[in-house]
């Protein structure tokens, strides 16, 4: 029979916490569930009567954040103790937190290529369309992790392992906002961007068959995302 109070006061490595018993027992198979589903005699106490756990106290707050809402837990940006947190998660047997802490840092570049095409007679209101493509550059394993089945690898068949890099993937959709959302959800942030080509006035040295008005509206933008 469990005789722990509904609100549990903890001393984790010298750092004090208070949380609900339900939170501590929320993940099936975890060490915390095992410790706090028995009796109070199973867990040592400090001099103030708080239940004592001899682990990293500063990192335990991430353990509690994860246990409160596992599906919404996100690693903080620029977090430099990812490996230490992973070890804490393994100790407490919290598989979801282990996975979150294991996500590798890296860089992904999204290229946005657009072409506003006109008919040969230049009648934009009759013969006008926009063609776009979202290109993906980065390490193959990270690109697959972020974009999943929206990633089109047909232009770069897998001739190596997931740790290789590529500049030839593109997305199956053309919604740049969707790509940005997926990157943000996976812990990436944008650190830079550049663009070129839009409204250019150069008409010399065009490729055969390329209309000068059409060429004027070609553009390409790149956005650099990183995950620490």
Q: Comparing 75 with 173, which gets the higher pLDDT?
A: 173
pTM above 0.85, yes or no: no
Q: Is the predicted pLDDT of residue 58 greater than 60, yes or no?
A: yes
* Range of the structural domain that residue 188 is part of: 106-227
Two tokens at 177?
A: 């906002």
pLDDT category at 217 given cuts 50, 70, 90 is low
Question: Which neighbouring-strand residues pair with 137?
Answer: 109
State residue 96's pLDDT score: 94
The whole-angstrom separation of Cα 66 and Cα 23 is 10
The whole-angstrom separation of Cα 151 and Cα 23 is 37
Average pLDDT score over the chain: 86
Encode pLDDT of 93-151 as tens digits.
999 999 888 888 899 999 998 876 655 555 555 455 667 899 999 999 899 989 999 99
Which of the listed residues 45, 68, 102 is the one where a domain comes to its end?
102
pLDDT category at 209 given cuts 50, 70, 90 is low
- Report the number of distinct structural domains present in the chain: 2
Encode pLDDT of 159-198 as tens digits.
677 779 999 999 999 999 999 999 998 889 999 999 876 5
* Cα 140 from chain centre: 15
Other C-beta atoms within 10 Å of 138: how many?
A: 20
Which of the listed residues 102, 121, 145 is the one where a domain comes to its end?
102
Same domain for 114 and 204?
Answer: yes
Is 1 a member of any domain? no
Tell me which residue of 47, 60, 135, 131 sits closest to 91, measured CA to CA.
60
Q: Is the predicted pLDDT of residue 200 greater than 60, yes or no?
A: no
- Range with the poorest average pLDDT among 72-76, 154-158, 213-217: 213-217
Two tokens at 190?
A: 């944008």
State residue 118's pLDDT score: 59
Same domain for 97 and 174?
Answer: no
Q: Which whole number is the average pLDDT over 56-61?
A: 97
State residue 26's pLDDT score: 96
Same domain for 93 and 121?
Answer: no
Which of the listed residues 86, 102, 118 is the one where a domain comes to its end?
102
Is 147 a member of any domain? yes
């Amino acid at each position: 029979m469990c005789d722990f109070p509904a609100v549990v006061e903890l001393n984790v490595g010298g750092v004090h916490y208070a949380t609900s018993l339900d939170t501590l027992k929320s993940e099936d198979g975890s060490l915390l569930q095992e410790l706090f589903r028995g009796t109070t005699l199973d867990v040592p106490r400090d001099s103030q009567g708080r239940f004592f756990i001899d682990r990293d106290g500063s990192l335990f707050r991430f353990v509690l954040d994860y246990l409160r809402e596992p599906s919404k837990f996100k690693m903080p940006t620029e977090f430099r103790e990812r490996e230490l947190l992973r070890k804490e998660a393994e100790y407490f047997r919290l598989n979801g937190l282990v996975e979150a802490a294991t996500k590798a840092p890296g860089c992904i570049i999204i290229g946005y290529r657009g072409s506003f095409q006109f008919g040969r007679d230049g009648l934009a209101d009759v013969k006008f369309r926009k063609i776009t493509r979202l290109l993906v550059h980065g390490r193959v394993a990270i690109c697959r992790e972020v974009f999943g089945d929206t990633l089109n690898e047909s232009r770069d068949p897998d001739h190596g392992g997931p740790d290789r890099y590529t500049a030839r993937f593109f997305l199956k959709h053309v919604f740049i906002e969707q790509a940005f959302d997926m990157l943000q959800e996976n812990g990436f942030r944008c650190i830079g961007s550049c663009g070129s080509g839009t409204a250019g006035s150069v008409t010399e040295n065009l490729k055969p068959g390329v209309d000068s008005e059409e060429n004027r509206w070609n553009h390409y933008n790149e956005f650099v995302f990183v995950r620490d």
